[in-house]
Chain A
Amino acid sequence: MSAADNIATILSSGARLTIPLAFAACGEYVAQRAGTLNISVEGMMLGAAFGSVAVASATGSATIGLAAGALVGVLVAVLHANLSHRAQINTFVVGLVLNALVLGLTSYLITISSFTGHQVWRVDIPVLRDIPIIGPMLFVQRWPAYLLLIAVPLTWWLVERSRWGLELRAVGENPQAADVSGIRVNHRRRQALLFCGLLAGLGGAYLAVGEVGSFNQNMTAGRGYLVIAAVIFGAWRLGRTMIGCAVFGLADAMRLALPALGVTINSQLLIAAPYLLALLAMLVFATQHREPRALAKPFQRGTT
């Protein structure tokens, strides 16, 4: 294999590893802009992965499975939103418990049931895929990957340009002021979480019925936490968050590809790199106050 082929392989596998992260990161971005540091994104992705495989196996259609996966993500989000923004239980507590619940439930259910594998179809554009280096990365992917082309601009427009997004950002920055001006703070946070659940579910389902085609126990393996790291690495800007996802996906691809090419880079360092980068990004950006000011602070009327 030539060097160009190697690079093309790494790039395209990097893209495949990036896509689930990118979907979930769009959702997590919205949740964090609204002030919810949503830890249960791991549970959303894992639950969605299981749900998508189960439904795809039952209906025989991977596309229906994908939609079902997104719905499972929303279901976890509904639980999280009601427990943390309606009943006012500590949001980290809720997130941790939901992660544990989904991990246990999916691990249990997969040991007592068996599913047939289904995958969504692959887009393979004849001429364009032969473009050297970037061709396989851009033009040979499972079709839901191209949903990102809608999801990312839509998320950006919703948060940065719509009235809903303006109020969302206000809720994340200064919930007291938002409340005084008539925005229903916790209502808006619940909406943001549902959006997060939808996209995280899509990401998890893409992992299952898109890339792998089946469900393994704990198949997300911490990708949800990586998504949180990506949003932090992106300093709460959508574009940079997407770049963060790409960096993380590429690092993952290198970890898998480099040993095969005979290059030895410490694999632990490559696994740890995303988290390390996110921490460094936080240290650098901390003084610029990029973080939504009310991030992870619960809001309840009558308290300051």
Chain B
Amino acid sequence: MATLTGPDPAGRRLLARLTPGPGGWQVTAATVVTIAVALGLSALLIAVTGGSPSASVQALYQGSMASPRAWSNSLLYVAPLLLVAVGACVSARSGFFNIGQEGQVLIGALAGAWVGLRLALPGPLLLVVVLLAALLAAGGWAGLSALMYRFRGVNVVVSTLLMTFLAQQLVAFAVNTPWLLQESRLGTGVVSPQSNPLPENARLASLGEYPNLQVNGGLILAILVAVAISLAMTRTRWGFRLKMLGLNPVTAQHAGVRVGALGGMALAISGAFAGLAGALLLTSPIGSHRLQPGMSLNLGWDGLLVALVARNNPLLAIPVAVLFGVLRAGSSFLAATGVPSFLVDVVKALLVLAFVAPPAVIALLRRRRAGGEPAGTPPPTGGLPTPTPSTGEPAAPGTEVPAIDVPEATGSRETGSGPTGSEKTTMEGRPA
């Protein structure tokens, strides 16, 4: 820190950006308002389309929170969401924005399924190996994007996005290919392609039943990871470098951070956590212990949204992931009552906007009020359509008459003497 508080202008700029923009209470108030608006819009949508908002809310609640069994269902989704989100926090903090989690989840599940079905290891060792394989494979998959950036300058967002679709086809290929992971069933019959179920000792145990409330081991793992990453990001040198890299890569480089290595590592870590989430899907009841093409269930995209709402803070991601898990569990229950469960996707998107927009909008309003419209007001040099100064017409209030375009307009034609001529016309151009 000491080196950054010196006279170095770049360092000062970095620290200036570390100070929060809009005040905390303003953001909080605005967020409350925007959430109310989002929920109001959702209710309006249900009402307009002939449904009953209160019945829908009731169904959501019944399916996700009303009973311990419903809670168990919600919590099952929380673990993969949280893991993806924590990874997304790491990569977003470093400025290397990873949006390929959906594919990385699948790659993790693919690697986990392959190891789990091919290796015969005793007891829980197999489970550990499955999780590790998923971690490494998805980390490597995301690492490919980092390598492409490092050696060929390929845009990370684009490559992670494109590789998502490759991962989807890779999984489809794996479960359609007999020698790879296609289910070997004795009878014939048209089934959706999938792999064989994982053996018993590769499944995540439920940590006991507390009157009907089942807590899956994955949830504990995900929370531990979130806490550990949060500590690492706030308390270690690595975390500080990561933040510096994300806020100002140039300064970070001057301060001795190896941009490619650190950013690539962040990308690989975020991929690894997404892969771990894929392994959790595979080894918990959600994925029915089989590799299936659609098994990621958009949890990769949703996990990304969780990180956005949590503003890249892993600890904050825990409650947000619970909220998203509740919505997800509730939506399947909602479908049973006849209301289309897609409605929940709309609510979710509106909620994300409601959480994400306030700080940006407040900052925008502040810039407006301060007079400096963000890249909006054109400098009067624009298209040089009106060389007015010589005619004595006042320029638009608040804008200076720039001295540079005056010689072009009048000076060169009249006298040809640069500095004095231009000075004179500028003086004339400003009426008293």
User: Which A positions have Cβ atoms within 8 angstroms of B?
Assistant: 37, 39, 83, 86-90, 92-93, 96-98, 100-101, 103-105, 107-109, 111-113, 179-187, 217, 222, 225, 228-229, 232, 266, 268-269, 271-272, 275-276, 278-279, 282-283, 286-287, 291, 295-296, 299-302
Contact = CB atoms under 8 A, between A and B. Distances in A.
Interface of B: 45, 49-51, 97, 99, 148, 152-155, 157-159, 161-163, 165-166, 169-170, 172-173, 176, 301, 304-305, 308, 340, 342-350, 352-353, 356-357, 360-361, 363-364, 372, 374-383
A282 B176 CA distance: 29
Contact of A268 (B45, B163, B173, B304): B173
Contact of A108 (B162, B308, B345, B363): B345
Contact of B97 (A92, A222, A279): A92
B336 to A, nearest CB: 14
Contacts of B301: 96, 100
Nearest to B340: A111
A98 B304 CA distance: 14
Contacts of A39: 99, 161
B158 A282 contact: yes
Contacts of B161: 39, 225, 228
Contact of A103 (B345, B372, B383): B345
Contact of A182 (B152, B308, B348, B383): B383
A182 to B, nearest CB: 4
Contact of B154 (A92, A111, A181, A286): A286
B356 A287 contact: no
Contacts of B378: 182-184
A176 B339 CA distance: 50
Given A97-B305, A268-B172, A296-B155, 20 more contacts: A83-B353, A83-B357, A88-B363, A92-B99, A96-B301, A97-B308, A97-B349, A98-B349, A104-B342, A111-B340, A182-B378, A186-B374, A186-B376, A268-B169, A271-B165, A271-B169, A272-B169, A276-B166, A282-B155, A301-B375
A193 to B, nearest CB: 15
Contact of B166 (A109, A187, A217, A272): A272
A100 B157 contact: no
Contacts of B165: 222, 225, 271-272, 275
A111 B334 CA distance: 14
B162 A266 contact: no
A108 B340 contact: yes
Contacts of A302: 372
B353 to A, nearest CB: 6
A88 B360 contact: yes
A81 to B, nearest CB: 13
A111 B50 CA distance: 12
Contact of B153 (A37, A98, A182, A286): A286
Contact of A97 (B343, B356, B377): B356
A287 B153 contact: yes
B155 A283 contact: no
B342 A97 contact: no
Contacts of A282: 148, 152, 154-155, 158-159
Contact of B305 (A96, A107, A272, A300): A96
Closest 3 CB pairs of A and B: A104-B345, A101-B349, A107-B342
B155 A300 contact: no
A103 B343 CA distance: 10
21 contacts: A39-B161, A88-B364, A92-B97, A97-B356, A100-B301, A100-B348, A107-B345, A108-B342, A108-B345, A113-B49, A182-B379, A184-B375, A186-B374, A225-B161, A271-B165, A272-B165, A272-B170, A278-B162, A282-B148, A299-B375, A301-B375
A88 to B, nearest CB: 6
Contact of B49 (A86, A109, A276, A299): A109
A72 B169 CA distance: 31
Given A266-B173, A279-B162, A88 B381 contact: no
